[in-house]
Amino acid sequence: MITKLDQMFTALQGKTKKKIVAVWANDSHTIEAVSNAVDKNIVEGILVGDKNEIEKTCKAEKIDINKFTVIHANTDVEAANMAVKMVAEKKGDILMKGLLSTDKYMRAILNKEAGLLPPKAVLSHITVIENANYHKLMIVGDVAVIPNPDINQKIAITNYLIFTAKSLGIERPKVAIIGASEQVSPNIESSVHATIISKMGDRGQIAGAIIEGPLALDLAIDKESATIKKIDSEVAGDADCLLFPNIEAGNVFYKTNTKLCGTELGAVVCGAKVPCVLSSRGDTSLTKLYSIALAALMAK
């Protein structure tokens, strides 16, 4: 079982290398992350972007451009469409966002004719966080894509959380469905959703995990709180996965971890035909490298 982000690199050794297609990969952070992933022998790198800018960046960063396949595109939109087409044609196993806006990246993925979204699929952002104050990795969603998920979207996100956990070697993940209280309240929609999803887990309708909810955040990650409140649960204080009720709750948790706790993370978008790395343009090359490794573990 992987309990630290850098253990992903060891887990990928000896496996078939996945091909990552980086979109509008003109910037140093994206190129450096893909370069490091190539050096660690976990992917083959394909950079789609302005070839002159890529050459200039590689020269400035002292990175050997010959370790990549470079495909020229004149604009970021053209790069996104070219990269998605390559992946759709199985010439790539992972898609990665470079120096283009999220809406242009997502628009190419969602294109009904040439995109990567299977029929009736739900796209969701899954983040794996390493916080020194918690005894293992936290796999959380959704913090960036679905503003106010309905019950069916939450079921999809739960399954993505479970799949991600299993990709990290967690055989039977513990999923906490987060709410303001552990008390079931018919007047709070997220509490009702949590109760339904938890019962679906009990009945095997959502397989492969132990699911508990609603749980307040303290109960999900702190055993002492669960003991004080007399909550008898396998998940309480030992959750692998956290399902948040909406994007506000998830995003605040995400940014509290990164900005106040100095945590590192890896993140992917699930639900497309391949894992899609969706890191911020301001993310460090290390965050992007962890995201590449996570996507490589999850790619078929």
User: Do 112 and 133 have their domain in common?
Assistant: no
User: Do 114 and 134 have their domain in common?
Assistant: no
Helix ranges restricted to H, 89-183: 102-110, 151-167
Distance between CA atoms of residues 104 and 116, nearest Å: 14
Distance between CA atoms of residues 260 and 249, nearest Å: 16
Distance between CA atoms of residues 21 and 46, nearest Å: 5
Into how many domains does the chain fold? 2
Distance between CA atoms of residues 225 and 282, nearest Å: 36
Q: Is the pTM of this model over 0.75?
A: yes
User: Do 157 and 234 have their domain in common?
Assistant: yes
Are the C-beta atoms of residues 160 and 141 closer than 8 Å to each other?
A: yes
Residue 75, domain member (yes or no): yes
Confidence of residue 281 (pLDDT cuts 50, 70, 90): low
Residue 267, domain member (yes or no): no
Q: Return the CATH number at 191.
A: 3.40.718.10
Structural element, H or E, at residue 215: strand 210-215
pLDDT digits (tens, 9 = 90+) for 124-181: 999 999 999 999 999 999 999 999 999 999 999 999 999 999 999 999 999 999 999 9
| Pairing, β 94-97 against β 174-178 | unpaired
User: Do 190 and 212 have their domain in common?
Assistant: yes
Q: Using alpha carbons, select from 248, 234, 217 the residue that is nearest to residue 131.
A: 217
User: Do 227 and 253 have their domain in common?
Assistant: yes
Confidence of residue 272 (pLDDT cuts 50, 70, 90): very high
pLDDT digits (tens, 9 = 90+) for 72-121: 999 999 999 999 999 999 999 999 999 999 899 999 999 988 889 999 99
Q: Give me the domain span that covers residue 212.
A: 124-260
Find the mean pLDDT for residues 225-231: 93
Q: Return the CATH number at 44.
A: 3.40.50.10950
